[in-house]
Amino acid sequence: MNQQHLVRMANNIGDFFEAMPDRQEALDGIAGHIKRYWEPRMRKEMLAYINAGGEGLSDIVREAIGGGRIA
């Protein structure tokens, strides 16, 4: 998969949910959206990308999808 595309898509999702007043709601929203709409190989690749440093990912996205929450 194209990592640049995945990073941009994840950050765009993060931009939307970051506006939620409840931080936990925002984090759950990001992880839930990716889990619900991304095909497993995309999620797998994103997790590998995070494990490799996750360059370019926004802070809220890193926080939201770390820890296997989108596995």
Partner 1 sequence: MFKLTETDYGTPAQTSDAQVTLNIDGNDVTVPSGTSLMRAAADAGIMVPKLCATDSLEPFGSCRLCLVEIEGRKGYPSSCTTPAESGMRVLTQTPKLQQIRKGVMELYISDHPLDCLTCAANGDCELQDMAGVTGLREVRYGFDGANHLQDAKDESNPYFTFDPSKCIVCNRCVRACEETQGTFALTISGRGFESRVSAGQEQSFMESECVSCGACVQACPTATLQDKTVIMLGQPEHSVVTTCAYCGVGCAFKAEMKGNEVVRMTPWKDGKANEGHSCVKGRFAWGYATHKDRITTPMIRAKITDPWREVSWDEAINHAASEFRRIQASHGRDSIGGITSSRCTNEETYLVQKLVRAAFGTNNVDTCARVCHSPTGYGLKTTLGESAGTQTFKSVEHADVIVVMGANPTDGHPVFASRMKKRLREGARLIVIDPRKIDIVDSPHVKANFHLQLRPGTNVALVNALAHVIVTEGLANEKFVAERCEEKAFNDWKAFVCRPENSPEAMSAVTGVPADILRGAARLYATGGNAAIYYGLGVTEHSQGSTAVMGIANLAMLTGNIGREGVGVNPLRGQNNVQGSCDMGSFPHELPGYRHVSDGVTRSQFEQAWGVSISPEPGLRIPNMFDAALAGSFKGLYCEGEDIVQSDPNTQHVAEALMAMECIVVQDLFLNETAKYAHVFLPGSSFLEKDGTFTNAERRISPVRKVMPPKAGKADWEVTAALSNALGYPMNYKHPSEIMDEIAMLTPTFNGVSYAKLNKLGSIQWPCNDESPEGTPTMHVDEFVRGKGKFVITKYVPSDEKVTRKFPLLLTTGRILSQYNVGAQTRRTDNVMWHTEDRLEVHPHDAEDRGINDGDWVGIQSRAGETVLRATLTERVQPGVVYTTFHFPESGANVITTDNSDWATNCPEYKVTAVQVMPVAQPSEWQREYQRFNQVQEDLLNRREPVVAAQAEK
Q: Which residues here bind partner 1, judged by CB under 8 A?
A: 1-2, 5, 8-9, 12-13, 15-16, 18-21, 33, 36-42
**Residue 13 Cβ, how far from partner 1 at the closest point, in Å?**
5
Cα–Cα distance measured from residue 10 to residue 40, given in angstroms and rounded to the nearest whole number: 14
CB–CB of 70/46 below 8 Å? yes
Whose Cβ is closer to partner 1: residue 21's or residue 53's? 21
**Residue 15 Cβ, how far from partner 1 at the closest point, in Å?**
5
Whose Cβ is closer to partner 1: residue 8's or residue 67's? 8
- Give the burial class of 31: count Cβ atoms within 10 A of its Cβ; 0-12 exposed, 13-18 middle, 19 or more buried: buried
Cα–Cα distance measured from residue 30 to residue 50, given in angstroms and rounded to the nearest whole number: 15
**Residue 25 Cβ, how far from partner 1 at the closest point, in Å?**
9
